[in-house]
């Protein structure tokens, strides 16, 4: 059995993997070019969605692409400049919207999301941040009955996988969330869902407890991986070589670059998302509220009200377009009339997305002692703890808590 492991990436995925590997008795080193939690895991909407299983590509997705190309402020937009590079990924994304593929993705996703609280709470408790985890439900709101009807297929996917929810009418919505504008006709309440009130603080605390138990976190950028017949030998980093035995690539939206060094070609694309964070807001919803047709989420956080969402396909290198965060703020004001507060901060992060919305978790079939944990897209915070547990079980040869087959890297 492996005794040591090195994890590339200190986002929520890498830190959950490292924490579970450490719990299973391995000496673990985490390598990241930045402080833990400072990339995509910093600014997400905090939703912990234990009944989520709806992939982003759904039947009929192809019909929507022209709209995404024509309006760069649409909830999902594709940059014209980046289109030639994104095209092969977009074609796979459209293919993933076939009903049979959607059902497969939904099965794979629900297995990861359902046990979120069981697998996350032990880590959060040990790190002293379980008070950040709320199980107060989530509300998905619709301003028209037609938008609600348009989501029937998604609700049906959830229902058939046992996700608990309740449909509310306009009057019930006002009872649940009195601060909402009286424009919402229908809502779906997910009582078993919840949220994390500070996603960065969660990763930071996981990193601190990991280090206090002897784990090492090294701030270096990995440039290449030296591989021998017996597996990975060393990481080539910006501060010199680092010997490795067992390797886990959990490098978020950058993982395909490292996977390629190991002989794997993976269709990973960044879906850039934004947030606008309002400190000292005069309005605080009781729970995480998602405006379904506008595709954004309002979450009560320790630091204020976070309005997060939107998808922009424009690659890893283009500068952020913060007008998208301004748009989130405008929409937040339409959602909560009179919304005001103190300082507004804006942020952009790279969601690591595979066409079928299912992450890669498991061993390389090409290089011994090498594992992957990336591609968690819109559900990385929710899926991180189950991913960490599953990956640690695969590395140590323990019985896996869920069937690892749907997450194989060789499915592409
Ligand atoms: C706007 C928005 C809202 C979201 N809302 C939710 C939500 O409500 N619920 C939910 O479950 N998910 C949500 N997500 C998704 C979630 O945030 C991501 O899936 C998750 O953070 C991905 O974690 P990660 O560890 O894979 O990536 P990251 O946090 O990006 O971590 C990857 C790390 O790898 C490092 N790295 C990369 N390459 C190298 C290299 N060569 N050398 C060294 N280090 C390297 C990076 O520096 C980075 O720190 C949201 C995302 C966005 C953008």
**For 313-372, what is each residue's pLDDT tens digit?**
999 999 999 999 999 999 999 999 999 988 999 999 999 999 999 999 999 999 999 999
pTM above 0.95, yes or no: yes
The DSSP code sequence of 226-277 is EEETTEEEEEEEBTEEEE-SEEEE--GGGHHHHHHHTT-----EEEEEEEEE
Residue located nearest, by CA, to atom 31 of ligand 1: 11
The predicted model gives 118-135 an average pLDDT of 98
Does the beta carbon of 272 sit less than 6 angstroms from any atom of ligand 1? Answer: no
Dist. CA 270 → ligand 1 center (Å): 10
- What's the pLDDT band for 66 if we cut at 50, 70, 90? confident
Whole-number Å distance, alpha carbon 107 to ligand 1 midpoint, is 23
Smallest Cα–Cα separation from 245: which of 25, 9, 26?
26
- Beta strands 76-78 and 304-313: pairing type? parallel
**CA 377–ligand 1 middle distance (angstroms):** 8
Q: Which atom, in ligand 1's list, is nearest to the CA of 13?
A: 25
Cβ of residue 298 lying under 6 Å from some atom of ligand 1: no
Give pLDDT tens digits for 185-233. 999 999 999 999 999 999 999 999 999 999 999 999 999 999 999 999 9
- DSSP conformation letters of 151-190: THHHHHHHHHTT---EEEEHHHHHHH-TTS-TT--EEEEE
Distance 250 CA to ligand 1 centre (A): 9
Closest listed residue to residue 137, CA positions, set 299, 282, 284: 299
Q: Is 278 in the pocket of ligand 1 (CB under 6 A)?
A: no
Q: Probe ligand 1: pick from 41, 51, 316, 372, max atoms within 8 Å of CB? A: 41
Give how far Cα 22 sits from Cα of 38, 93, 126, 206, 211, Å.
Answer: 22, 36, 13, 12, 10
Q: How many angstroms is it from 12 CA to the middle of ligand 1?
A: 7
Q: Are 37 and 18 in contact (CB under 8 A)?
A: no
Token pair recorded at residue 364? 């390389």
Instruction: Give the pLDDT of residue 67.
Output: 76
Across the beta sheet with 246-249, the strand order is 216-219, 27-32, 4-8, 246-249, 370-374, 360-363
Q: Model confidence over 142-168: pLDDT tens digits?
A: 999 999 999 999 999 999 999 999 999
Ligand 1 within 6 A of CB of 273 = yes
Supply the pLDDT for residue 72.
67
CA distances from 377 to 211, 268, 312 (A): 27, 10, 13
Contacts of 331 (CB under 8 A, 6+ apart): 291, 294, 296, 307
Q: Is the pLDDT of residue 64 over 90?
A: no
Q: What's the pLDDT at 65?
A: 78
Q: Positive or negative, the Cα torsion across 205, 328, 342, 298?
A: negative
Q: Is 378 in the pocket of ligand 1 (CB under 6 A)?
A: yes
């Amino acid at each position: 059995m492996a005794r040591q492991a090195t994890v590339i990436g200190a986002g929520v995925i890498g830190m959950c993997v490292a924490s579970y590997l450490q719990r299973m008795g391995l000496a673990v080193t985490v390598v990241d070019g930045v402080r833990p939690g400072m990339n995509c895991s910093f600014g997400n909407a905090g939703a912990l969605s234990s009944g989520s299983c709806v992939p982003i590509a759904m039947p009929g997705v192809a019909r929507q692409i022209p709209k995404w190309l024509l309006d760069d402020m649409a909830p999902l937009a594709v940059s014209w400049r980046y289109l030639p590079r994104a095209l092969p990924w977009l074609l796979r994304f459209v293919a993933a919207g076939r009903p049979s593929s959607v059902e497969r993705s939904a099965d794979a996703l629900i297995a990861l999301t359902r046990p979120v609280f069981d697998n996350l709470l032990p880590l959060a408790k040990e790190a002293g941040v379980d008070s950040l985890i709320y199980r107060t439900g989530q509300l998905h709101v619709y301003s028209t009955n037609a938008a609600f009807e348009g989501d029937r297929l998604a609700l049906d996917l959830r229902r058939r996988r046992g996700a608990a929810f309740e449909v509310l009418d306009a009057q019930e919505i006002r009872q649940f969330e009195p601060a909402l504008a009286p424009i919402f006709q229908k809502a779906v309440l997910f009582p078993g869902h919840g949220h994390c009130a500070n996603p960065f603080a969660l990763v930071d605390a996981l990193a601190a407890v990991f280090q206090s138990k002897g784990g090492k976190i090294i701030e270096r950028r990995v440039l290449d991986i030296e591989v021998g017949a017996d597996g990975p030998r060393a990481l080539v980093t910006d501060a010199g070589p680092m010997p490795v035995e067992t390797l886990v690539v959990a490098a978020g939206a950058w993982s395909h670059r490292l996977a390629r060094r190991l002989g794997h070609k993976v269709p990973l694309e960044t879906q850039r998302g934004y947030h606008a964070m309002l400190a000292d807001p005069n309005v605080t919803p009781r729970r995480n509220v998602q405006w379904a047709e506008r595709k954004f989420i309002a979450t009560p956080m320790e630091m204020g009200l976070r309005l997060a969402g939107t998808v922009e396909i424009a690659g890893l290198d283009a500068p952020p377009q913060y007008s998208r965060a301004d748009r989130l703020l405008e929409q937040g004001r339409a959602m909560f009339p009179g919304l005001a507060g103190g300082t507004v901060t804006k942020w952009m992060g790279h969601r690591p997305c595979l066409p079928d919305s299912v992450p890669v978790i498991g061993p390389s079939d090409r290089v011994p002692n090498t594992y992957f944990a990336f591609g968690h897209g819109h559900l990385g915070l929710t899926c991180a703890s189950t991913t960490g547990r599953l990956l640690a079980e695969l590395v140590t040869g323990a019985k896996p808590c869920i069937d690892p087959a749907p997450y194989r890297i060789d499915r592409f």
